[in-house]
Each structure stands twice: as C-alpha cells, then as structure tokens.
Structure 1
Amino acid sequence: MRSQTCSFKSSKGWCCDQPAGQSGLCYWHDPDIDKCGHDVKADVEKWAASGKPLDGFQLARTDLTDIDLVNRGSREGYSCQGADFYRANMAEAHCFGLDLRGASLMKANLLRANLNCARLDGSNLLGADLARAGLENVDWGKELKQERLAYKERDPARRKSLFQEAEEVCRNVRKQCEKQGLFEVAGYFFKKEMRFRRYQMPKLSFRRWLSKIVDLFCGYGEDPLRVVIFSVLVIVSCALAYFALGTTQSNPIYPDVTGWQRYFYELLNAVYFSVVTFTTLGYGDISPHGVARFIAAFEAFLGSFTMALFVVVFVKKMTR
C-alpha cells in the first residue's frame, strides 16, 4: 500500500514529498512533533543543500548552533519562508541571504548569527536576541508582522497589544543597528518605534496630537528635509497673506510700474518680507500694517522655533 505524502504546500506552490504521519504532515512540517531533544542540524543542512526549500519547517526549540544555510554559488539564498524557529538556538548561524519572509524568530537566540542580506519581510522578531548579529543589507520589508496584524485588528485592546509588540521589535532592532553603525536603518526603526508608541495613545489625547505634529515637522528628529519643506510652506503662505492684505514701505521701490507688473513686483516684495520676517532679520525697509502685523509676529515666532529645530535635527544626523 502506497504511503501518504505530506500535505504541506508552500505559498509558491511547492509540495512536500515526505511520508506523512497521522496528522497528514511529515516530520519537518508537523508542529506537534517536539524536536527539542533531536539533533536535526545536519539533516536540515542536507535538506537545504539538496535544493528543496525549507518553507514551513517546524524547528521550535531546536539546537541549530552554527548551522550553515548559505546557498553558495547562487545570488538567491535558500527559501525558508514561514518556518518556525521559536526559541531555537541559532547562535553563530550562517544565514547569509536566507529568505525568512513570514518566519517566526520569536525569542530565538541569534547571537553573532550572520543575517547579512537576509529577507525578513513579515517575520516575527519579538524577543529575538540579535546581539552582535550581522544585519547589513537586510531586507526588512515595509511592515512588521505585528504592524500588519494591528492595522487589520478591530479589537482596541488587541490592537494596542500588537502595537506594543511592534514597538518592542523596533526598539530591539534599532539598538543593535546603532551598535553596528547602521544609523540609517536605526533612524528608520526609531521613527516606526515612536509611531507605534503614538498609536497606543487615546486618539483625542493631547500627547498623541503633539507626537503627530513632531512626526510631521521632523520625523521625530530623523528627517531634516521635512523641516525645510515646512519652512518653505510657511514662507510662501505668509507671503500670499501679505500680498492679499497689503504692506507699507517708507519709499516706493517701483514708483513708475503699473498694471500687472506692479502686482508681480508687490508679490516679490511680499515674498522678500516673508523671508526676512521668518529668519527674524527685520531690516525694516518694509513694514506690515493692520492684520498683517499679527501674521508677521506669528511668522517670526514660528521661524525662530523652526530654525532652531532644523539645527538640532541636522546636527543629530551629521554627528552620526
């Protein structure tokens, strides 16, 4: 009688050809088989070397110390999508270029593991020990697993819990990247960390709105370009207000200009006055009147604050 084969089928359409147990799954894909005390490292390496994917492998709590899963001679690493490495000991593992999309590395020991060029999109990194792990050129993907689930979750308590987990993952990755000098990646995860913290606050709370404003202004200190864009928007907006409300000047600069050219020059004057006011230079050759005075006072206050913010953000980025 022909034995039944494993019913596992990967997202890419690959079907496992191993004999199945009573659960309909083989030894490698059955999550109910405890492999904690089994010496599986050599078998896993042999399986990968044979060219078959490691998709969906259930390797929770296994000892995979110094395992070699590098696909040498190929631009693409071994496929290990959706695998379960929960609490697995993968210290000093060689996982260069390994495709770990959707895999669970929750509380896995990745001490000094080589994860350079690995693909971790959608993987679960909650509680993973990434101390001194190689993290250069890692493809982190657009969303963390907890982040993706939180956006779909309708229960407020569960959604808050998922954002807490996502914040913890970002903090862990950020700290390890900072220690390795990967400051661009660290900055990226710092912004995500602060956003996930904001999502845990009540929607109508002052702290949440303040956090949102800081994010819009400067990306939590990681995006100086946002400060520049905000400054330009303020200058242009105030210039249009000055042009509409009118300004006065002691000596007309264009006494003989009429028609549309006069309005054009007046607009240039408004832009000039807006720049001078925003930068708090205050030459005094053009002065506002009426409501424009209050707009000028507000712009001067906002300009001094924005320039100080830009210096702080710029210095923070450059000193790295």
Structure 2
Amino acid sequence: MAEKPTCQYVSPEGKKCSEIDMGSGYCFWHDNKFDKSGLELSQKLERYAKRGGLLQGLELKRANLEGLNLVNFEHHHGYDLSYSNFYRANLKGAHLFNNTMKNASLMKADLREASLHCCNLENTNLLGVKLENTRIDNMELGEQLLQEQQALEARKNRATEEAEDLFLQSEEIYRLLRKGAENQGLFEMVGRFTYKELRMRHAQYPRYSKRHLISSFVDLLCGYGEKPENVIRFSLGMIITCAFCYFLFGVSFQDQIMQLNLTNSLSDNVTALLNSFYFSVVTFTTLGYGDITPVGISRLIAAIEAFTGSFSLALFVVVFVKKMTR
C-alpha cells in the first residue's frame, strides 16, 4: 500500500514537516491558502505540539487561539514557533512562556492578557499588536526591530519614502511596547522603549533640518531624558574643552598670566594646565572662588561655561530623579 504523501513544508532551518498532505502540498498547519479565520484551534494546536509536530512556519492567520496554553514544561527550552504567521490571530489570554518566535508575524494579533514572559521575538513583525495587560517582562527583541532594520537598509539604498514609512512603523511599535511596559510596571523597559521611540521619530526628520538638529542635541545631552550618564559625559567634555581653552588663551593668577608658553619649562606649563582644569571645574559648578580670573577671550568662554554648567547640573538632577523614582 502506497504511503500517503506528506507535507512539503521545509523551514529555513531545514526542518521538515511529517504531517499528511491535504492535497495542496501542505498539511493543515502549514497551508497558507486554507482559511482558518475564526476557527477554534487552541486545543488542537496544543495536542499537535505535545506529539512533536513541527511548529515552525505555522499559518494561523485570523485563527481563534484564545486561551492557548503552549508552555513546554518538560524541557528547559520552550516551543519553537519561528517563521509562523499569526496575523490578526486571537491570542487573548495565551500562555507562551519561554517560546521562540523569531522571524514570525504577530501583526495586529490580539495578545491582551497573554504571557510573553521570556519569549524570543527577534525579527518578528509586531506592528499593531494589542498588548493590554500582557506580560512582557524578560522578552527578547534583539538590538533592532524588523522594521527598524528594513528602514536602515532602505535609507542605505536611498529609498527615502520607504525608509520614513518603516521608521514610522518602528515608532508605533515602540510606543505600543512602552505602553505595555507601563501597564506592567516595568519602568526600566519603559525608559528603553521611550528612548527608542524618540530615536525612530528623530530618524523621520529631514537631515540637518531644525527639528533634526534639536533632536540630535537633546539626544546627545541627556538621551531624551532617559540617560543621565549622557549629562555626565557632556559635562566632562565641556570641562575638559574649556580647560584647554583657558590654557591656550590664558587666565590671571596672582597678577600673572598662566597659559601655554613654549619658552617656559615643562613644569610651568603643566602647572598652568592643572590650574586651568581647576578654574574650569569651579567655573562649571559656578563656585567661582575668585583666586583665578579670566582675561581676554577667556572671559567669554568662562561666561558660556558657567551658564552651561548651571543648566547641566539642574538637568542632571531632573533626569536622575526621574530615572530613580520610576
């Protein structure tokens, strides 16, 4: 007796499906032409997973998978649902703990009250996904979203309109993730997604436009209010830069001008440099002891540094407190 033909699906990783061919060349689970809209498939999919069926490349567009319990308790690693299509699928209340869903599509899927705890969603399409009351802690997204990677590639190929659209999609996804993290009280994730959301918005601005330049400056200064360490780096850079300026243009100390002078000894120049650093620090922090005073163009530099210093210190306090009180 001839054996029944099997599904022709082979995943990008080379894994083959051994289910029976439905006549289209593919099994029920891998046939993208079979309309599964509204079909209640939760229990059927759970049984398929438990008997070792290939879960990569599932075609479950618009399927009803509400309450799906796809947790692999018997193994340290969860199920591998990579390359699967869950477009507009109903996954409300689904338990997907520790599953791998790389290169999949969850576009406009309903994941309200579901658990994506410890799931790997690298290169997965998350556009329009519903995440109200969804557990997303320890979820792995990779360094960049799928649309973010595509946008950078489009920009590289000078496809400006396509890149802007993809950056807009990335911004929307990060906004959804941020709101989902806020709902779960995951404030560290909130900060990360807020920063990425604003970076995607920044990428949509015309290069060298006013908005682009302002956004770049705010990012450099404080990471859009999410990176207090940026304020410290900016402050140190300002202090060092101004110190060398004082060293070049000179400051007055005990009625003597201290500045770079190639005719002086090395020790005298080093002393002048150290005093310039000291003066830069007290000017930046607006202490101003008065033992060293600027002269000539150094006065303008000192005024700019003092203003920038008072602003930067206040900004650091605001950003740091915001970060910590979360």
TM over 0.5: yes
For 1:289, the equivalent position in structure 2 comes to: 295
Q: 1:236 deviation in Å?
A: 0.8
Match of 2:236 among 207, 232, 246: 232
For 1:54, the equivalent position in structure 2 comes to: 55
Measure, in 1, the Cα distance between the counterparts of 2:44 and 2:70.
11
Measure, in 2, the Cα distance between the counterparts of 1:37 and 1:63.
5
Q: Secondary structure at the match of 1:287?
A: strand
Match of 2:182 among 146, 164, 178: 178
Q: After superposition, where does 1:144-163 map in structure 2 within 5 Å?
A: 144-153=145-154, 154=157, 155-163=159-167
Where in structure 2 are there 5+ consecutive unaligned residues? Answer: 259-263
Match of 1:309 among 303, 315, 320: 315
Q: 1:251 deviation in Å?
A: 5.7
Measure, in 1, the Cα distance between the counterparts of 2:87 and 2:53.
22
Q: Which amino acid counterpart does residue 104 of structure 1 have in structure 2?
A: S
TM-score, normalised via structure 1 length? 0.94
Measure, in 2, the Cα distance between the counterparts of 1:252 and 1:148.
58
Q: Which amino acid counterpart does residue 314 of structure 2 have in structure 1?
A: A
CA 183–191 in structure 1, closer or farther in 2 if over 3 Å, else same = same
Q: 1:25 deviation in Å?
A: 2.4
Please tell me whether residue 101 in structure 1 is matched to residue 107 in structure 2: no
Q: After superposition, where does 1:212-251 map in structure 2 within 5 Å?
A: 212-250=216-254
Measure, in 2, the Cα distance between the counterparts of 1:6 and 1:176.
38
- The C-alpha deviation readout for 1:66-110, integer Å capped at 9, x for no partner, is 111001032211000011111111111110011111111111111
Task: Check whether the contact 2:20–2:27 (CA below 8 A) recurs between aligned residues.
Answer: yes
Q: 1:53 deviation in Å?
A: 3.5
Task: Check whether the contact 2:17–2:54 (CA below 8 A) recurs between aligned residues.
Answer: no
Q: 1:23 deviation in Å?
A: 4.1
Match of 1:203 among 201, 207, 213: 207
Task: Check whether the contact 2:284–2:308 (CA below 8 A) recurs between aligned residues.
Answer: yes
Q: Which amino acid counterpart does residue 277 of structure 2 have in structure 1?
A: V
For 2:131, the equivalent position in structure 1 comes to: 130
Q: 1:24 deviation in Å?
A: 2.7
Please tell me whether residue 92 in structure 1 is matched to residue 93 in structure 2: yes
- The C-alpha deviation readout for 1:153-181, integer Å capped at 9, x for no partner, is 24222211111111111001101111211
- The C-alpha deviation readout for 1:247-275, integer Å capped at 9, x for no partner, is 11126799xxx832222221110000000
Alignment root-mean-square deviation, CA: 1.8
Aligned-residue sequence identity (percent) comes to 45
Task: Check whether the contact 1:53–1:78 (CA below 8 A) recurs between aligned residues.
Answer: no
- The C-alpha deviation readout for 1:261-307, integer Å capped at 9, x for no partner, is 22222111000000011111111110111221221111112112211
TM-score, normalised via structure 2 length? 0.92
Q: Secondary structure at the match of 1:98?
A: coil
- The C-alpha deviation readout for 1:34-58, integer Å capped at 9, x for no partner, is 0124332222111211233311100
Where in structure 1 are there 5+ consecutive unaligned residues? Answer: none
For 1:28, the equivalent position in structure 2 comes to: 29
For 1:167, the equivalent position in structure 2 comes to: 171
Q: Which amino acid counterpart does residue 311 of structure 2 have in structure 1?
A: F
Measure, in 1, the Cα distance between the counterparts of 2:43 and 2:144.
33
Q: Secondary structure at the match of 2:176?
A: helix
Q: Which amino acid counterpart does residue 204 of structure 1 have in structure 2?
A: Y
Measure, in 1, the Cα distance between the counterparts of 2:280 and 2:54.
63
Measure, in 2, the Cα distance between the counterparts of 1:253 and 1:74.
74
